[in-house]
Amino acid sequence: MSRRNRKYAVPGVNRGMQTFKAEVMRREGYDVDLERPDDVKYEVAKELGIPLEHGENGHLSTESVGQIGGKIGGSMVREMIRLAQQQLVDQEREKHFF
């Protein structure tokens, strides 16, 4: 799996998203190098029994690759939803506080 050239909706957020990924996956129990957060995919693949290797992985099925990305992305989405919900609660409290 080569790193794609991602285009985020907010310019300049690339580093922040990589840090967010690393933090989320650490909380999920994975050993993540903050300088190389994308490497967590190899640990996820190993846990799922998928033979992901550095370099070419054309032998892997789309389903296998999706399982790896889904586990990582799903964890990130759950955390984003949790953060958004917390922000809504905090905003509601501020309205009643002032």
What pLDDT shows up at residue 7? 82
What residues does each domain of the chain span? 14-97
For the entire predicted model, the pTM comes to 0.77
- Per-residue pLDDT band for 98 (boundaries 50, 70, 90) equals low
Contact 21, 5 (CB under 8 A): no
CA dihedral 46, 59, 14, 29 (to 10 degrees): -10
Contact 6, 62 (CB under 8 A): no
What pLDDT shows up at residue 43? 93
In angstroms, the CA 25 to CA 41 distance is 10
Of 31, 36, 41, the residue nearest 18 (C-alpha):
36
- Per-residue pLDDT band for 50 (boundaries 50, 70, 90) equals very high
